[in-house]
Amino acid sequence: MKKGLAAVILAAGKGTRMKSALPKVLHPICGQPMLSYPLEVARAAGFAQLKVVVGHGAEQVMGAFDDNSLTWIKQTDQLGTGHALMCAADSLRGYSGPLLLHCGDVPLLKVETLQRLQDYHSQQQAAVTVLTAQMPNPQGYGRIIRDGEQILQIIEEKDATEEQRQVTEINAGTYLFDAAFVLAALKGLNKNNSQGEYYLTDIVAAAVAAGKKTRALCVEDPTEVMGINDRCQLAEAEVLMRWHINAELMFGGVSMIDPTTVYIDNGVEIGVDTMLHPNVHLRGKTRIGKNCTLETGVVVVDSHVADGTHLKAGSVIEESQVGPQCIIGPMAHLRPGNVLTGHNKIGNFVEMKKALFGEKSQASHLTYIGDSEVGRNVNFGCGTITCNYDGVNKHKTTVEDDVFVGSDCQFVAPVTIGRNSLIAAGTTVTKNVPPDSLALARTEQKIIPGWRLRKQKKS
C-alpha cells in the first residue's frame, strides 16, 4: 500500500447526453480534459493515492493520462456509484485513513473547499461527511434528510416522496469516509431501488443504523459542485473556469480590455503589465512575458513570448520561441519550430517554419521563410521565399549576418548566403553566395521603342 491519503475518482460513466464518441471525462475545459481537474484538486488537497474508476472508453481515458501515480480500476458493469467503490475496494485493502470519493465530471471544485471538508470531517470525527449545496431548483439531485447536524439519509429523487422533493439541500456527490467503516458497509448494499443500482448514498443510512456520526458541509457557491452531463453544462463550466483564470491573472498584474472575450487555457503563464485585447487565445503550454501587447485575434499555442514583444492583430504563433522586444504581424503566421532571438520584426502576411532568426533580423511583409538559419541584422525584402522542399526532402537555407535581400527573391535550398552580401531584387539564388558579394540573377531588360503604338494600330 502506498503512503498518503487515498481518493477514489469516479470516471466510468458513458455520458449519453453528451452525444459524443469521446468519453465524457475527456471533453476539454480551458485546454485540459475534464478529468484532469478533479485529479488536480485532490492532489493539491493532499491525496497522494489516486484510484480512478473507469468504464466506458476505459482505454481511451487511461491513454490520455501519462501518469504512473494513478491507479486505474475498471468497472465493467455500470451498476451505480456504490458498485464503483466496490470495484476499488481491493486496491484499498489495508488503508485506514480518511477516504475521499469525488466525481470525474465535477471540474470546478476548489482546493480550499476540499480542505474545509477534510478539516470538518476530522473535527466531527464522522464516519461519513458529504459535501452539499443549497439549490433553489434541486430537480435531478439527491436530497439531504437531516436531524440537526446528523444526516439521516440521502434520498435519490426517483425514490423520494413529494415532501422529500421539497428539500433544497442536495448531495454534491463528494464524500469523505472513514475507510474501514465504508469498506465494511459496502458489503451490506443492495439494489432494491427504482434504478436497480448499488447506491453509495445508502452508506449514510448504514452509518446511522450503526450509531456513527454523519455530517454535511454545505458549499458557499453551488457552481463549485455542478456536474457536467451535456454540452450546455460543459460550456457553462468553461465560462466559469475562464473567468476564474482571467480574474487571477488580472489580480496578478495582467490587463484585459474585455476579459469576457479573452480565452486562456489553464496553466498559461503571463507576466505583469502585459495587455490583452479582445479575442486573444492563449493555448497549451504558453508563456507570455512582461510588458507585452497582444492585439485582437492573436492566437498563441505552446509557445514562449519574451518581455516587451508586440503581437499585432490576427497573428498566429505555434510551438515557437519569440525573444524580447519583437514586433510580429499583423496577420503573421509562425508555424512550429521557430526561434526569434530578439528585436526582430516579422510583418504582415509573413509565414515562418523551423527558422532561426538572429537578433534584429526582419521580414516586413509577404515573405515565406522555412527550414532556415538566419544571422543578425538580415533584411528580407517583400515577396522573398525560401524554396525548401523539392518534392521529396526538405533542405536548409543559411543566411549569414548583415545580408540585405531585395524584393521578390527566391532561395533554392540547400544554399548559403555569405555575410554582408546583397541579393538584388528579382534574383533566384541556386548557388552559394560568398561574403561581401552582390548576387544578381535575372534576364537583361529590353526596350523596343514604338511597340505599343504599332500594336494599337494593328488592333
Question: At 285, is the secondary structure helix, strand, or coil?
Answer: coil
Q: Mean per-residue pLDDT for 263-289?
A: 98
Phi, psi of 166 (to 5 degrees): -80, -15
Residue 112 lies in a domain: yes
Residue 248 lies in a domain: no
Residue 458 lies in a domain: no
Domain that holds residue 77: 5-225
Contacts of 393 (CB under 8 A, 6+ apart): none
Residue 446 lies in a domain: no
Closest CA to 124 of 103, 143, 98: 98
pLDDT tens for 432-453 read 999 999 999 988 889 999 998 9
Is the pLDDT score of 34 beyond 50? yes
Q: According to the annotation, is 229 in a ligand binding site?
A: yes
Q: According to the annotation, is 291 in a ligand binding site?
A: no
How many folded domains does the chain comprise?
Answer: 2
Is the pLDDT score of 139 beyond 90? no
Q: According to the annotation, is 12 in a ligand binding site?
A: yes
Q: According to the annotation, is 348 in a ligand binding site?
A: no
Phi, psi of 105 (to 5 degrees): -110, 25
Q: What is the CATH number of the domain that holds 198?
A: 3.90.550.10
Roughly what angle, to the nearest 10 degrees, separates helices 36-44 and 111-124?
Answer: 50
Give the integer Cα–Cα distance in Å for 194 and 156: 9
Indicate the pTM of the whole model. Answer: 0.91
- Catalytic site residue 365? yes
According to DSSP, the β-strands at 269-270 and 5-11 are unpaired
Question: At 61, is the secondary structure helix, strand, or coil?
Answer: helix
Is the pLDDT score of 250 beyond 80? yes
Give the integer Cα–Cα distance in Å for 73 and 173: 19
pLDDT tens for 372-404 read 999 999 999 999 999 999 899 999 999 999 999
Is the pLDDT score of 1 beyond 70? no
pLDDT tens for 323-347 read 999 999 999 999 999 999 999 999 9
Closest CA to 309 of 279, 331, 288, 336: 288
Q: Do 258 and 215 belong together in one domain?
A: no
**Percent above pLDDT 70 for the chain:** 99
Element (H, E) at 92: none
Q: Do 408 and 312 belong together in one domain?
A: yes
Is the pLDDT score of 193 beyond 90? no
**Cβ contact 128:177 at 8 Å:** yes
Beta bridge mates, 51? 8, 71
Q: Do 22 and 167 belong together in one domain?
A: yes
Q: Do 148 and 270 belong together in one domain?
A: no
Among 126-130, 193-197, 307-311, 369-373, which is the least confidently predicted range?
193-197
Query: Which member of 102, 277, 343, 365 is catalytic?
Result: 365
Higher pLDDT, 391 or 292: 292
- pLDDT at site 2: 53
Beta bridge mates, 263? 281
- pLDDT at site 221: 94
